[in-house]
């Protein structure tokens, strides 16, 4: 209704003024989205590899991959399309706050081939977590399902009653004060798998608003954004999860590809600060 009052909707080229008008089918209904200010993002992406099939990008930690919600132009896809002057197709996905390696193909068929190659390959993530992680390898084999006890509908939970099988291996790299840097190897590729598995194991990711130590941080963020008080509470401005390495066979020449993204400065700075405090 508000958009109609503002004259943002047109029906067959004429400004729509009656919200109760019935559509018969075949009409062209348009919305003018100009003037909308999208949330700011970190556009400091870097190209890790490129060929005629795909491009590998080191995504920053405050950048959605594709248009959704309040984001349309401020996305990784839009930035890469602007750089190359053609459409690109993500072969997989990582969360807005997760940094690191992501592959984008130059056509839909290439994206499907890349996705298949990734499914047969391996992925490695780095994460900063609360607590002193065990020195021995930890394997979490817990199915995932919707967390019906959470106030956030999209939140998932790792528990024996979950509906989707999920397995992740974790290895400790180092400890600094009361946090640890760990390597994460997801065997399956479920939505929010690493975050939910670490939460269930008692080692939530530093800065994670939804799967961290207190999910009310997510609700506060949705309502008020990242305030100074919230950032102090979270310790870091975003979830400290980083897609560090992809290993797969190139879809065209079958050559083994190893694409790596360096540890983000945010991670190393925080580790140094914790060691200095200790």
Q: Sorting pLDDT into bands at 50, 70 and 90, what band is 33?
A: low
What's the pLDDT at 72? 74
At residue 272, φ and ψ (nearest 5 deg) are -60, -40
Instruction: Mark whether 95 is an active-site residue.
Output: yes
12, 43, 51, 95: which one is catalytic?
Answer: 95
Give the number of C-alpha atoms closer than 13 A to the C-alpha of residue 99, restricted to the C-beta side: 26
In this model, does residue 5 exceed pLDDT 90? no
The residue ranking higher by pLDDT, 246 or 24, is 246
Domain residues of the chain, as ranges?
A: 1-35, 122-239
Contacts of 79 (CB under 8 A, 6+ apart): 43, 45
What's the pLDDT at 145? 95
In this model, does residue 15 exceed pLDDT 80? yes
Q: What is the mean pLDDT of the chain?
A: 92
In this model, does residue 162 exceed pLDDT 90? yes
Q: pLDDT, tens digit, for every residue of 57-102?
A: 999 999 999 877 676 778 999 999 999 999 999 999 999 999 999 9
The CA distances from residue 216 to 13, 151, 203, in Å, are 45, 9, 18
User: Among residues 99, 89, 86, which one has the least CA distance to residue 43?
Assistant: 99
Rounded Cα distance between 56 and 47, Å, is 6
Rounded Cα distance between 261 and 100, Å, is 6
Q: What is the pTM of this model?
A: 0.86
On whether the CB atoms of residues 253 and 269 are closer than 8 A, the answer is no
Structure tokens at 89: 């197709």
What's the pLDDT at 26? 80
Q: Would you state the CATH architecture of domain 122-239?
A: 2-Layer Sandwich (3.30)
Rounded Cα distance between 255 and 75, Å, is 30
Question: Looking at the DSSP assignment, which residues form a beta bridge with residue 13?
Answer: none
Q: pLDDT, tens digit, for every residue of 172-201?
A: 999 999 999 999 999 999 999 999 999 999
Question: Is 273 in a helix, a strand, or coil?
Answer: helix
Taken in order 99, 102, 108, 114, the sign of the CA dihedral is negative
Section 156-165 average pLDDT: 95
Section 49-57 average pLDDT: 97
Rounded Cα distance between 121 and 271, Å, is 30
Structure tokens at 252: 């065209």
In this model, does residue 139 exceed pLDDT 90? yes
What's the pLDDT at 13? 81
Of 28-37, 78-87, 95-104, 141-150, the one with minimum mean pLDDT is 28-37
Q: Taking the CB of residue 29, how many other CB atoms lie within 10 A of it?
A: 10
């Amino acid at each position: 209704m508000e958009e109609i009052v503002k004259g943002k909707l047109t029906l067959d080229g004429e400004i729509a003024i009656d919200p109760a008008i019935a559509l018969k089918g075949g009409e062209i209904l348009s919305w003018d989205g100009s003037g909308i200010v999208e949330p700011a993002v970190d556009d400091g992406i870097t190209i890790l590899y490129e060929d005629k099939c795909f491009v590998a990008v080191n995504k920053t930690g405050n950048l959605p991959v594709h248009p959704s919600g309040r984001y349309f132009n401020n996305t990784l896809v839009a930035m890469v399309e602007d750089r190359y002057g053609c459409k690109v197709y993500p072969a997989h996905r990582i969360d807005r706050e997760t940094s690191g390696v992501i592959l984008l193909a130059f056509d839909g068929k290439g994206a499907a081939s890349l996705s298949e190659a990734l499914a047969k390959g391996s992925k490695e993530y780095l994460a900063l977590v609360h607590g002193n992680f065990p020195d021995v390898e930890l394997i979490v084999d817990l199915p995932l399902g919707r967390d019906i006890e959470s106030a956030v509908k999209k939140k998932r939970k790792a528990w024996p009653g979950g509906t989707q099988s999920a397995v992740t291996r974790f290895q400790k790299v180092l400890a600094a004060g009361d946090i640890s840097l760990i390597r994460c190897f997801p065997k399956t590729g479920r939505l929010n798998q690493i975050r939910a598995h670490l939460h269930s194991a008692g080692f939530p990711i530093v800065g994670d608003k939804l799967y961290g130590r207190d999910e009310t941080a997510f609700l506060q963020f949705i309502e008020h954004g990242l305030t100074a008080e919230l950032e102090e509470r979270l310790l870091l401005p975003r979830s400290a999860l980083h897609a560090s390495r992809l290993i797969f066979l190139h879809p065209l020449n079958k050559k083994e590809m190893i694409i790596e993204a360096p540890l983000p400065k945010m991670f190393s700075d925080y580790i140094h600060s914790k060691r200095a405090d200790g």
